Amino acid sequence: MNVMLRKALAGMLIGVLASAPALAAPAKGISDNVVKIGVLTDMSGVYSAIGGKGTLTAVEMAVADFGGKVLGKPIQVISADHQNKADIASTKAREWFDTGKVDMVTGLLNSACALAVQKIGADKKRITMNTGAGSTDLTNKDCTPYGIHYAYDNYALANVAGSAIVSHGGKSWYFITADYAFGHSLEKNTSNFVQKLGGKVVGSVRHPLSTADFSSYLLQAQSSGAKVIGLANAGGDFTNAVKQAREFGIVQKGQIIAGMLVFDTDVKSLGLNTAQGMQFASGFYWDRDKATRDWSKRFYAKHKAMPTMDQAGAYSATMNYLKAIKAAGTDDPDAVMAKLRSMNISDFFAVNGKIRADGRMVHDMYLMEVKKPSESKGEWDILKIVKTVPGDQAFMPLSESVCSQVKK
């Protein structure tokens, strides 16, 4: 190789190296000239009252309240029904990320769907802000750099409600569990707290999602002699199980029905006569204070029902995602995630919330109790807050995490 050629190649190499930092830096501004948010949830099935069109409404409210634009570019919201099937959720997520240019997905009610979409989001470097699913795997063994678990998780539910029930005499448990990732996780987490506090689990039975007839499961639970029948399910499955337990006279005969994930809409469906006295954990209640009431009344005007934890969480997640884009000056996912982790999340949903390295958004949780009919002063005056549990006490400590993003 002659001297002139070597010099030319060396010059080219120096030029490439000199430009490398600029190429590696996140692009400023908005990719594709639009910020696109996808709401992927159960729109028609057993969880649709918990999330569904209400979650879409909440996200649209957040976009409107933000002004409809960020960094001068429009914000677009699209939605789809995953039908509680992980394969449908995966297919839709791939389509959104690959051809739809979706920047962030929220909702994700159903743990199997959420875990599948979060993995795809990580592969595609797209942010997922989960407000509906409960599995602790989302921020534990299956955590990713782009996954955020926002509203609640099964560890906090079990910690806040399970511990309260055991401490009030519920020492023996039998579980009726939804047979997929969410139910398995909720049963496991609750069992751990029951045993830690000196209680015992005498058995469990699993049922398919969207079960209409709980009679055989309830009879097994009744014959177990357990003081507490823990329902590790949600939505329509939970309400069906409670209604049928009442028909069998299970509570009247001395056993406690413990719902491990209960939403306002479930209580409304059951009615106070049936649900009164039931205790459970939640990350949100519409009537907590003036800020929650003000926002919830606006939501009610559009949706004709008070918001669930999932729906209120989706508003908060969307609003803080947009704030992070504005602060970062770009919708680049790495830059936005860095901003989200640095933010103090304080709004009507969460006070002094913080997104940890594992993606868990830590905030206060509440032990709720269903009011007696005589205590209720209105259609949605159905719950009262018994206890507030600070986030750092409610959620799994990082010292117990196996998340690859957590430095030990």
Claim to verify: residue 145 and residue 293 sit in the same structural domain: yes
Claim to verify: residue 260 and residue 309 sit in the same structural domain: no
* Averaged pLDDT for residues 260-275: 96
The region of weakest confidence among 17-26, 234-243, 295-304, 373-382 is 17-26
**Residue 19 scores a pLDDT above 70:** no
Residues 6+ apart with CB under 8 A from 174: 201, 202, 203, 204, 205, 220, 221, 224, 226, 228, 229, 230
Distance CA 310, CA 317 (A): 10
pTM of the model: 0.92
Claim to verify: residue 242 and residue 159 sit in the same structural domain: yes
Domain edge (last residue) among 282, 305, 334: 282
At 366-379, the pLDDT tens digits run: 999 999 999 999 99
What pLDDT is recorded for position 290?
98
Start-to-end CA distance of the chain, whole Å, equals 52
Range of the domain at 144: 35-152+286-363
At 20-64, the pLDDT tens digits run: 444 444 457 999 999 999 999 999 999 999 999 999 999 999 999
Claim to verify: residue 208 and residue 314 sit in the same structural domain: no
Question: CATH number of the domain that 148 lies in?
Answer: 3.40.50.2300
For residue 75, being part of any structural domain is answered with: yes
For residue 407, being part of any structural domain is answered with: no
Distance CA 253, CA 255 (A): 6
For residue 25, being part of any structural domain is answered with: no
What pLDDT is recorded for position 352?
85
At 184-199, the pLDDT tens digits run: 999 999 999 999 999 9
* Averaged pLDDT for residues 152-174: 96
For residue 12, being part of any structural domain is answered with: no
322: confidence class by pLDDT, cuts 50, 70, 90: very high
Report how many domains make up the chain.
2
What pLDDT is recorded for position 146?
98
Distance CA 166, CA 367 (A): 14
What pLDDT is recorded for position 45?
96
For residue 42, being part of any structural domain is answered with: yes
Claim to verify: residue 353 and residue 270 sit in the same structural domain: no
Distance CA 218, CA 243 (A): 11
**Residue 82 scores a pLDDT above 90:** yes
Q: Count of alpha carbons within 13 Å of 218, Cβ hemisphere only?
A: 23
3-state secondary structure string, the chain?
A: CCHHHHHHHHHHHHHHHHHHHHHHCCCCECHHHCEEEEEEECCCCCCCCCCHHHHHHHHHHHHHHHCCEECCEEEEEEEEECCCCHHHHHHHHHHHHHCCCCCEEEECCCHHHHHHHHHHHHHHCCEEEECCCCCHHHHCCCCCCCEEECCCCHHHHHHHHHHHHHHCCCCEEEEEEECCHHHHHHHHHHHHHHHHCCCEEEEEEEECCCCCCCHHHHHHHHHHCCCEEEEECCHHHHHHHHHHHHHCCCCCCCCEEEECCCCHHHHHHHCHHHHCCCEEEECCCCCCCHHHHHHHHHHHHHHCCCCCHHHHHHHHHHHHHHHHHHHHCECCHHHHHHHHHHCCECCCCCCCEEECCCCEEECCEEEEEECCHHHCCCCCCCEEEEEEECHHHHCCCHHHCCCCCCCC
For residue 13, being part of any structural domain is answered with: no
Determine how many CB atoms are found less than 10 A away from the CB of residue 182: 29
Claim to verify: residue 119 and residue 174 sit in the same structural domain: no
3-state secondary structure string, 23-79?
A: HHCCCCECHHHCEEEEEEECCCCCCCCCCHHHHHHHHHHHHHHHCCEECCEEEEEEE
For residue 291, being part of any structural domain is answered with: yes
Domain edge (last residue) among 282, 297, 318: 282
Question: Do the beta carbons of residue 242 and residue 325 sit within 8 Å?
Answer: no
The region of weakest confidence among 15-29, 150-164, 306-320 is 15-29
